[in-house]
Amino acid sequence: MDWGQIFTNAAGELLSPVTAAYALAAIGISVHFGYAGLLNFGQAGFMAIGAYAFVVPILSFDAPLWLAFLSAILASVLFAFLLGVPTLRLRADYLAIVTIASAEIVRYVVSTTGLTAVTGGATGLSGFNSGFTAINPFPDGVYGFGPWTYTENQLWIRVFGWSLVILASILVFLLMRSPWGRVVKGIREDEDAVRSLGKNIYAYKMQALILGGVLGSLAGVIYVLPRAVQPTNYGTTLTFFIWTMLLLGGAATVFGPIIGAMIFATLLTLSDSILRGLISADIITFISGTQAGQIRFMIIGAVLMLLVIFRPQGIFGNKKELSFNV
Amino acid sequence: MSDTIVTHPLVVGEVGPGCKKVDPIVVADNVTRTFGGLTAVDVAHVEIPRGAITALIGPNGAGKTTFFNLLTGFDKPNTGDWSFEGHSLARVPAFRVARKGMVRTFQLTKSLGRLSVLQNMLLGATKQPGENMFTALVKPLWRKREEEITAKAEELLARFSLDAKSDDYAASLSGGQRKLLEMARALMSDPVLVMLDEPMAGVNPALTQSLLGHIKQLKEEGMSVLFVEHDMHMVRHISDWVIVMAEGKVVAEGPPDTVMRDQAVIDAYLGAHHDTDLGEMTGANPVVEAKEAAAKVAAKKEGTV
Amino acid sequence: MPVLLRRVPPVLSVLGTVLATVVAAILVVLTIGSGPASAATTPEPTPTPTGDFTNTFTIGGIIRDGDTPLEGVEVLVEGSGFEETGVTGADGRWSVSPPSAGEYTATLVPETLPEGVAPRDPENITRDVVLGTTNTVNVLFPTGEGTVSNTSIWDTILTRAVYGLNFGLLLALGAIGISLIYGTTKLNNFAHGEMVTFGAVIFFFFGTVMNVALPLAILITLVLSAFTGYAQDAFLHKPLRRRGVGLVQAMIVTIGLSILVRYIFLFFLGGNIETLDTGLTSTITAGPVTITVASLVSMGISIVMLVLVGLFLTRTRIGKATRAVSDNAGLAAASGINVDRIIRIVWIMAATLTGLSGILYGIFRQVNWNMGFQILLLLFAAVTLGGLGSAFGALVGSLVIGIVTEVSTVWIPNDLRYAIALLILILVLLIRPQGVLGRKERVG
């Protein structure tokens, strides 16, 4: 088996646009859960909202790129608002159930055959990327080295995606060391205490929900920019994977979600390549290549369990600060 | 009750349950709150005097804390209306109540353990523009106010002897220190009325005196204080006025010495845990104890004759 | 040393659970993997280094008139240079196996439908199918006498309502399990869907693959389901409670368990959709409603079980203790109730009921690796609708969800019916957050 190729693939995954999208979505949940204590189990829904609200205006109305971005942001603000109004006054686990249910509603709606003309139904949408490649500032050519060798368009989407990730991290960092962040962290721990000090906790929770949701929606855009929109991707499993990344890196930390996403994506590729390599080299004979693909998801499940039990603060988290008891 | 008309400088006319105050800060009418079939609070009329320390006492289950929660917006009444400094506050959300200057503490302290002591204090401050999500991003817009409130917080922490703990997580404080922190935090907003829910519960005797001193100082600084308590001794030492609740109703009110001789009060307490509530006391003074017992007996005789 | 010794066992048992779950699943499912894999119509998977979960692609479905499977109906699948016609067998199932991922269309050939049966929407008999991240796509062609023959809309509604009642009753078995666990431990168990799948898969293995007699297959399934309930509490949740692990943490642990177990099912079962063979496919017609004997038996079993659960909770000592723990665990413990024991009993009972619900759901639809996870949200919706923690509420919520999902298909596309159920959940939370039957004080 070709170890060089295996590690090249895994290293390439480190900076892939999908990893950037994962990181951005994980930063979103970090704002929700890590800082504000909101149990958002519908991040896949926010990503779907972002993807469709970005792509549909381009394909259906020939909208310019900036308008498509604006549409993705506004749609997620609206979605967060709709989710927040009924649930933010209720106990934390209601938000969990409502967000997960809403994300599924979004998925059912975008994949229903009745809306095929707009959303492409179960097929999804493609062919919207030309506007993005058209504003590529990099001239034609090959960039980078080793596992990170890219064409101009591959480079452009990576630079764009990771810039968004860095901007989002800076935004979250600035917010969390500000008095706003202080209030939000207070709410995470004890709503009544903060309420008794004259803060409108409902408004703060709504703001946090919207902020994390917008990040999720932008993640959805990055996720689809280099390829097509495919509704089956936005299932509950995607949300759970993003949670795993967040908990891996450490909730309520600046770099946790990014590192978590990188580790997750790299390990996923690495374990898959190694297993398949071992199978094709006849070292492992009792499972098929298909089953090797499933083993890594079992590993994800087990890692998530062990992580939450034994190291809830993740790699970077501060155990004293992390709150699980929302 | 004796036949003579009792008067008091805080009161207009006769002293008794629901009596009118010279300068009330809170006026409540027909406040009821039921849980299922149980009526927890049913207060016809009560006024809380300004510039005084008022104790809200009564046996367990008298509805003190529920009434307290209603006044501060932490619970919603079935019926009723009340005003604070002339503004109606019924059904106003808790955070607005706090902003109007009526700040509360909790029986089980709610110091935020995962924030530092100083951060806890800063959270209590008002008018910090950095608490707006957009202003928060630009530090120059809120740095000045942050410096002001930090100075104020440090001053208050020094007064409450918590300055050495300023950078520790609040979770590392002792129970009594948390009570102090909560009280200090409430003062960050310069409240008009401080509402303390059982400030002495779970505090060791050494800290009790210090806490009592702090409460008295609030009054000296011009604030009004309303606190829930069932330890009669503490009530007598520091309160100017006592309101007694039993089974959801205000059954008596008056200055502490008078109230403790009131038949309705004795009935209310005897009906519940007479010994526990009247007798048990941290750092009890045997002389006071004996005097009080005598007073009780006397009061009892007076009532039965 | 004692400290060390005391620290180790919970850690070990947590690990033990993962293992126990895996081993239990492997032991049982392993044989399934070898059994039907050879018998299955899908070709042997050929390992190719793609990123897909499995490399066997199947487009298929089941065509039924109401509950009656239709035989000999043709579906033409074409696209990506592939063309094949699937024909339904006696069980109403058809499937084709395209060689690769890609976009396909599946078109129902209406002429092959029996007399008196027509597509419910004759204008819309072509479906776009994408094989990509999913390798098995189930294509639905709802049929009925409805649109072509002159059945009145009320008859259609009545028919759907009866199916909905069946669906609701079997949901209730699972939902009561969630509700009991939530009531006693305040845990939202995301691995509950896998308990449904477990029941269906085990029953499929013994009942259909091994051809064990029906009652015996049910018994084996229920015993094994009960064991999974025991194992989850004994090796996972009790140690977690001992460690003082928070509820949110424990909830995320169940998410991890759900992912783990779900992919174990996929590992052994593959992406196949299996049909349970109960031998009870004859139908009974009463007025406008035609229903299979299996459905009737299923409803009967559900009702009997629900009544038994009701009697257990209200009449027996343990049942009363269970309700006491749900009400206030601390108080119950103080009055001499062994809370840990009650929780253990609740887990076992919940797992058994949920396993049964899995059997019935497998009969109602089909068996696949993902089936429980797909209805997990419906279960949560049912429980929340009725009021979290209230067993009777879970029953009412399940019936509402079951009937709504089925009846709504009269007006809205089939693929949106679950969305409607979830939308109702959100609307109810908006108006009455404590649920239809919940107590207001419960909402903190």
Neighbours of C83 (CB within 10 A): 12
Task: Judge whether A82 is closer than 8 Å to chain B, CB to CB.
Answer: no
Residue among C52, C68, C192, C196 at smallest CA distance from C135:
C52
Residue among C189, C427, B92 at smallest CA distance from A87:
C427
Mean pLDDT to the nearest integer, A34-60:
94
Closest partner residue to A113 (CB to CB) among C127, C247, C258 is C127
Per DSSP bridges, beta strands B102-104 and B87-88 are: unpaired
What is the C-alpha radius of gyration for chain A, rounded to an integer number of angstroms?
20
Pair B242, B194: CB distance under 8 Å: no
* Chain C contact partners (≥3 CB pairs within 8 A): A
Tell me the CA distances in angstroms from A225 to A17, A20, B220, C130, one per residue in order.
9, 12, 66, 19
Q: Give me the pLDDT at residue A214, please.
A: 97
What distance, in Å, lies between the first and last C-alpha atoms of chain C? 42
Mean pLDDT to the nearest integer, C367-387:
88
Total residue length of chain C: 444
Closest partner residue to A324 (CB to CB) among C54, C249, C261 is C249
Q: Give me the pLDDT at residue B292, please.
A: 52
In one-letter notation, the amino acid at residue C81 is: G
pLDDT at residue C149 greater than cutoff 50: no
H or E element, residue C197: helix C192-203
- In the three-class reduction of DSSP (H, G, I as helix; E, B as strand; rest coil), residue A229 is classed as strand
Q: What is the ipTM of this complex?
A: 0.88
Residue B29 located in a structural domain: yes
Q: Kindly list the structural domains of chain C, giving each domain's residue range(s) and its CATH number in brackets, ordered by start.
A: 58-149 (2.60.40.10), 155-442 (1.10.3470)
Beta carbons of B130 and A198 less than 8 Å apart = no
Closest partner residue to A301 (CB to CB) among C55, C259, C422 is C259
Neighbours of A285 (CB within 10 A): 8
Mean pLDDT to the nearest integer, A179-187:
95
pLDDT in tens, B193-247: 999 998 888 788 888 888 888 999 999 999 999 999 877 777 888 899 999 998 8
Beta carbons of A308 and C252 less than 8 Å apart = yes
Q: Give me the pLDDT at residue B301, please.
A: 46
The residue assigned the tokens 């906790």 is A201
Q: Give me the pLDDT at residue A238, please.
A: 93
Distance, in Å, from the CA atom of C177 to the CA atom of C192, rounded to the nearest integer, reads 8
Task: Judge whether C253 is closer than 8 Å to chain A, CB to CB.
Answer: yes
Q: Name the pLDDT band for A1 (thresholds 50, 70, 90).
A: low
Residue B104 located in a structural domain: yes
Pair C359, C218: CB distance under 8 Å: yes
Residue B159 located in a structural domain: no
By C-alpha distance, the chain B residue nearest A321 is B114
- Name the domain count of chain B: 1
Half-sphere exposure of C145 (CA within 13 A, CB side): 19
pLDDT in tens, C43-62: 333 333 333 333 567 888 88
Beta carbons of B74 and A195 less than 8 Å apart = yes
pLDDT at residue B302 greater than cutoff 70: no
Structural domain range at position B56:
11-111+173-304
Listed in order, strand segments (DSSP E) in C124-180 are 126-131, 136-138, 143-144
Mean pLDDT to the nearest integer, A192-211:
95
Distance, in Å, from the CA atom of B119 to the CA atom of B122, rounded to the nearest integer, reads 5
Residue B150 located in a structural domain: no
Residue B117 located in a structural domain: no
CA C128 to chain centre: 26
Distance, in Å, from the CA atom of A200 to the CA atom of B72, rounded to the nearest integer, reads 14
Taking CB atoms and an 8 Å cutoff, what residues of chain C touch A308? 249, 252-253, 256
Tell me the CA distances in angstroms from A98 to A84, B257, C50, one per residue in order.
9, 56, 35
Q: Is the dihedral of CA B227, B233, B237, B239 positive or negative?
A: positive
Closest partner residue to C384 (CB to CB) among A97, A102, A232 is A97
Pair C326, C184: CB distance under 8 Å: yes
Taking CB atoms and an 8 Å cutoff, what residues of chain B touch A201? 95
Beta carbons of C256 and A124 less than 8 Å apart = no
Distance, in Å, from the CA atom of A92 to the CA atom of A326, rounded to the nearest integer, reads 7
Share above pLDDT 90 across residues of chain B, in percent, rounded to a whole number = 49
The DSSP result for B206-230, as a single string, is: HHHHHHHHHHHHHHHTT-EEEEE--
Q: Give me the pLDDT at residue C154, please.
A: 83
- In the three-class reduction of DSSP (H, G, I as helix; E, B as strand; rest coil), residue C152 is classed as coil
Separation in Å, CA of B17 to nearest CA in chain A: 29
Listed in order, strand segments (DSSP E) in B165-283 are 193-197, 224-228, 241-246, 249-254
Distance, in Å, from the CA atom of B201 to the CA atom of B207, rounded to the nearest integer, reads 11
Residue B136 located in a structural domain: no
DSSP-derived secondary structure letter, B169? B
Bridge partners (DSSP) of residue B227 are B55, B196
Q: Give me the pLDDT at residue B132, please.
A: 93
Mean pLDDT to the nearest integer, C127-155:
67
pLDDT at residue A108 greater than cutoff 80: yes
Task: Judge whether A312 is closer than 8 Å to chain B, CB to CB.
Answer: no
H or E element, residue C18: helix C2-39
Strongest mean pLDDT among B241-245, B285-289, C14-18, C67-71 = B241-245
Residue B3 located in a structural domain: no
Mean pLDDT to the nearest integer, A141-166:
91
The encoded tokens of residue A191 equal 């709503």
Separation in Å, CA of A315 to nearest CA in chain C: 16
Q: Give me the pLDDT at residue C29, please.
A: 38
Mean pLDDT to the nearest integer, A208-230:
94
In one-letter notation, the amino acid at residue A260 is: G
Closest partner residue to B114 (CB to CB) among A201, A207, A323 is A323
Angle at A181 between CA A180 and CA A186, to 5 degrees: 100
Residue among C391, C439, C443 at smallest CA distance from C178:
C391
CA B186 to chain centre: 12
Contact residues, chain B to chain A, C-beta under 8 Å: 72, 74, 93-96, 98-99, 103-106, 110-115, 119, 122-124, 126, 128, 130-133, 136-137, 139, 142, 146, 169, 171, 185-186, 188-189
The A residues from 30 to 59 touching C (CB cutoff 8 Å) are 39
Average pLDDT taken over every residue of chain A? 89
Closest partner residue to A180 (CB to CB) among B122, B130, B185 is B130
Distance, in Å, from the CA atom of C378 to the CA atom of C258, rounded to the nearest integer, reads 16
CA C11 to chain centre: 31
Closest partner residue to A298 (CB to CB) among C128, C263, C415 is C263
Neighbours of A28 (CB within 10 A): 30
Distance, in Å, from the CA atom of C155 to the CA atom of C136, rounded to the nearest integer, reads 34
Mean pLDDT to the nearest integer, B72-85:
91
Q: Give me the pLDDT at residue B3, please.
A: 52
pTM for this prediction = 0.80
Taking CB atoms and an 8 Å cutoff, what residues of chain A touch B131? 179-180, 182-183, 199
What distance, in Å, lies between the first and last C-alpha atoms of chain A? 48
In one-letter notation, the amino acid at residue A283 is: I
Separation in Å, CA of C135 to nearest CA in chain A: 11
pLDDT at residue C214 greater than cutoff 70: yes
Q: Give me the pLDDT at residue A159, please.
A: 94
Distance, in Å, from the CA atom of B43 to the CA atom of A107, rounded to the nearest integer, reads 53
The encoded tokens of residue B86 equal 């002339």
Residue B122 located in a structural domain: no
Q: Name the pLDDT band for C39 (thresholds 50, 70, 90).
A: very low
The residue assigned the tokens 């069946």 is C166
- The CATH number for B227's domain is 3.40.50.300
Q: Is the dihedral of CA C332, C336, C340, C345 positive or negative?
A: negative
Higher-pLDDT residue of C272 and C132 is C272
Pair C381, C397: CB distance under 8 Å: yes
Strongest mean pLDDT among A252-266, C318-332, C421-435 = A252-266
pLDDT in tens, B258-298: 887 777 777 777 664 444 444 343 434 444 444 455 555 55
pLDDT in tens, C387-433: 766 778 889 999 999 999 989 888 888 888 889 888 888 888 777 77
pLDDT in tens, C86-131: 888 777 888 888 777 777 778 887 777 776 677 766 656 777 777 7
The DSSP result for C235-275, as a single string, is: IIIHHHHHHT--HHHHHHHHHHHHHHHHHHHHHHHTT--B-
Taking CB atoms and an 8 Å cutoff, what residues of chain A touch C22? 298
Beta carbons of A196 and B104 less than 8 Å apart = yes
Distance, in Å, from the CA atom of A37 to the CA atom of C75, rounded to the nearest integer, reads 50
DSSP-derived secondary structure letter, A2? -
A186 contacts: CB under 8 Å, gap ≥ 6: A193, A194, A197, A199, B112, B115, B123
Q: Give me the pLDDT at residue C121, please.
A: 61
The DSSP result for B64-117, as a single string, is: HHHHHHHHTTSS--SEEEEEETTEE-TT--HHHHHHTTEEE--SS----TTSBH
Taking CB atoms and an 8 Å cutoff, what residues of chain A touch B95? 195, 197-201
Per DSSP bridges, beta strands B241-246 and C118-119 are: unpaired
Q: Out of B60-74, C73-87, C400-414, pick the least confident.
A: C73-87
Per DSSP bridges, beta strands B79-84 and B87-88 are: antiparallel
